[in-house]
């Protein structure tokens, strides 16, 4: 893979930044994409991107979608207006989330992360990290979290990793696993796998499970 060392530049008119350049590496090919600095949503999913730099110039960015690429690392530090980040199905081993205090949704399912620092994500309410290689995770700073997915990680074997988060909704109270996909709430809060094992069907009218 070609090493990318270029840094994003800007065209300045007076004191206003009009354009920014994002350096993208796709395999052995390198591209420089120009965007208006006021861009608030960037979607580059399924582009076989192996490296990307210069995102810090997009100071108004609120939504970033890089799903289904080949990224191994990414620096989102300082993008304080980001509210939703989708980078699932990549090859991530490293991600910088420093300063993302307004982030609400983070989807990093199906990557190769072994650790992640979530300390700055005070507003995060949805976290998807299933099918990574995370053995230990500190969720204590995520005071707004109410939905989480950690299936397929070594940390799922830790019995108390979720107990200190007061707002979590989507946990199966039978297998104590975090749900992903179909979720049910209330007293009979079971994941799809468990309710099928118990031969139960959810009754929307009664708002509970009943036997088939």
Does the pLDDT value for residue 190 go beyond 70?
Answer: no
Q: With bands split at pLDDT 50, 70 and 90, how would you rate the model's confidence at 91? A: very high
Amino acid 10: pLDDT: 36
Q: How many residues are listed for the chain in this entry?
A: 212
| Pick from 76-90, 114-128, 137-151: least confident | 137-151
* Three-class HEC string of the chain: CCCCCCCCCEEEECCEEEEEEEEEEECCEEEEEEEECCCCEEECCCCCCCEEECHHHCCCCCEEECCCCCCCEEECCCCCCCCEEECCCCCCCEEECCCCCCCCEEECCCCCCCCCCCCCCCCCCEEECCCCCCCCCCCCCCCCCCEEECCCCHHHHCCCCCCCCCCCCCECCCCCCECCCCCCCCCCCCCHHHHHHCCEEEECCCCEEEEC
What is 10-168's CATH superfamily? Ribonuclease Inhibitor (3.80.10.10)
| Mean model confidence pLDDT for the chain | 75
Most confident listed range (28-37, 129-138, 199-208): 129-138
| Pick from 15-29, 71-85, 142-156, 188-202: least confident | 188-202
Does the pLDDT value for residue 157 go beyond 80?
Answer: no
Higher pLDDT, 108 or 174: 108
Amino acid 173: pLDDT: 47
pTM of the model: 0.73
Does the pLDDT value for residue 200 go beyond 80?
Answer: no
Q: What is the pLDDT of residues 19-58, one digit of tens each?
A: 777 888 988 888 888 888 888 999 998 999 999 998 998 9
Higher pLDDT, 188 or 8: 188
Average pLDDT over residues 97-114: 96
User: What does the alpha-carbon distance between residue 13 and residue 166 come to, in Å, rounded to a whole number?
Assistant: 49
| Pick from 21-30, 76-85, 111-120, 193-202: least confident | 193-202
Does the pLDDT value for residue 118 go beyond 70?
Answer: yes
Q: With bands split at pLDDT 50, 70 and 90, how would you rate the model's confidence at 136? A: confident
Q: Any idea where the domains of the chain sit in the sequence? A: 10-168, 172-212
């Amino acid at each position: 893979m070609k090493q990318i060392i270029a840094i994003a530049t800007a065209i300045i008119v007076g004191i206003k930044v009009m354009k920014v350049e994002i350096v993208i590496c796709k395999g052995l090919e390198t591209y420089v994409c120009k965007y208006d600095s006021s861009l608030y949503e960037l979607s580059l999913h399924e582009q076989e991107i192996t490296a990307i730099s210069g995102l810090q110039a997009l100071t108004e960015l609120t939504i970033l979608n890089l799903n289904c690429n080949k990224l191994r690392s990414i620096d989102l530090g300082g993008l304080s207006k980001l509210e939703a980040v989708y980078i699932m199905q990549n090859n991530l081993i490293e991600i910088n989330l420093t300063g993302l205090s307004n982030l609400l949704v983070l989807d990093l399912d199906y990557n190769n992360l072994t650790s992640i620092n979530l300390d700055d994500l005070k507003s995060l309410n949805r976290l998807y990290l299933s099918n990574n290689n995370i053995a230990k995770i500190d969720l204590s700073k995520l005071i707004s979290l109410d939905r989480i997915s950690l299936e397929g990680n070594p940390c799922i074997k830790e019995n108390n990793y979720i107990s200190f988060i007061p707002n979590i909704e989507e946990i199966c109270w039978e297998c104590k696993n975090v749900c992903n996909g179909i979720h049910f709430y209330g007293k009979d809060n079971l994941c799809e796998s468990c309710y099928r094992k118990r031969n139960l069907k959810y009754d929307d009218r009664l708002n509970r499970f009943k036997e088939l």
